[in-house]
């Protein structure tokens, strides 16, 4: 085209009009306000019905229709997110209880293997464990021949209110006894 400068823009396909919520109106063009070119307005031209909404209007209509949708989606997903978080926390607590039961059983078995302090097996095992795991633990110290076996059992607390415990974690350790070597 002789008078055209710049690249040609492809015209998008015509689509149907999107309904806008009440109270939303397309901004008035200078030609619709009756301004004349002499008064600073645009030249008069015929207004034809829009077959495709303007970009700003289309965006505003879509924005109005979807207002609050992300809040509703978040509220719907929140219980699932909390459930996953509680399950991960419960799994971490259970793993920590198993690790602490092993630590207490090893410390108790080292003490039970020494004949002169074998009766302090449970106390030493609890001292090797941290706060809440020591309070929720029980020890079984069995002396049999040349070896001692100590079993530490820790009750796993639940993060869900109203449920007292989540089961228990037990670890056993067997060590050779020092009784035969002192004679």
pLDDT tens-digit profile of 7-52?
666 665 555 555 555 555 555 555 555 555 565 555 555 555 555 5
Q: Indicate if the pLDDT at residue 138 is higher than 90.
A: yes
Q: Are 65 and 21 in contact (CB under 8 A)?
A: yes
On the question of pLDDT at 99 being above 90, the answer is yes
Question: Could you give the CA distance from residue 111 to residue 148 in angstroms, rounded to a whole number?
Answer: 10
What are phi and psi for residue 33, nearest 5 degrees? -85, -5
Q: What does the pLDDT look like over 65-75, one tens digit per residue?
A: 777 888 888 89
168: left (phi over 0), alpha (psi -120 to 50) or beta: beta
Higher-pLDDT residue of 136, 164: 136
Residue 17, helix vs strand vs coil: coil
* pLDDT of the residue at 153: 96
Distance CA 19, CA 82 (A): 38
3-state secondary structure of 73: helix
Q: Give every CB contact of residue 132 below 8 A, 6+ residues apart in sequence.
A: 157
**CA dist list (Å): 101 to 5, 147, 159:** 81, 20, 19
Q: What is the CA radius of gyration of the chain?
A: 39
**Please, are residues 97 and 154 in contact by the beta-carbon 8 Å criterion?**
yes
For the stretch 140-156, pLDDT in tens is: 999 888 899 999 999 99
Distance of CA 93 to the CA centre of its chain: 16
pLDDT at 182: 47
Q: pTM value?
A: 0.60
Say how far apart CA 151 and CA 176 lie, in whole Å.
15
What proportion of the chain, given as a percentage, has pLDDT over 70? 62
Q: What is the CA angle 44-47-52, rounded to 5?
A: 140
For residue 164, name the pLDDT band (cuts at 50, 70, 90). Answer: confident
Q: What is the pLDDT of residue 84?
A: 93
Q: Say which residue, 82 or 49, is predicted with more confidence.
A: 82
* pLDDT tens digits along 22-34: 555 555 555 555 5
Q: What is the mean pLDDT of the chain?
A: 78
pLDDT at position 71 is 87
Q: Is the dihedral of CA 129, 133, 136, 140 positive or negative?
A: negative
Q: Give me the percent of the chain exceeding a pLDDT of 90.
A: 42
């Amino acid at each position: 085209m002789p008078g055209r400068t710049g690249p040609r823009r492809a015209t998008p396909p015509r689509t149907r009009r999107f309904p806008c919520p009440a109270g939303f109106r397309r901004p008035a063009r200078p030609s619709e306000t009756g301004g004349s070119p002499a008064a600073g307005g645009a030249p008069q031209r015929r207004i034809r019905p829009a077959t495709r909404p303007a970009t700003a209007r289309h965006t505003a209509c879509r924005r109005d229709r979807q207002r609050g949708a992300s809040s509703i989606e978040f509220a719907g997903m929140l219980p699932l997110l909390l459930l996953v978080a509680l399950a991960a926390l419960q799994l971490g607590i259970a793993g920590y209880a198993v690790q602490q039961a092993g630590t207490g059983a090893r410390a108790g078995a080292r003490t039970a293997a020494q004949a002169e302090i074998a009766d302090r097996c449970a106390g030493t095992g609890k001292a090797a464990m941290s706060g809440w795991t020591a309070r929720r633990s029980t020890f079984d110290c069995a002396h049999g021949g040349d070896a001692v076996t100590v079993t530490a059992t820790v009750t796993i607390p639940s993060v869900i209110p109203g449920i007292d415990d989540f089961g228990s974690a037990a670890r056993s350790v067997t060590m050779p006894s020092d009784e035969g070597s002192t004679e």
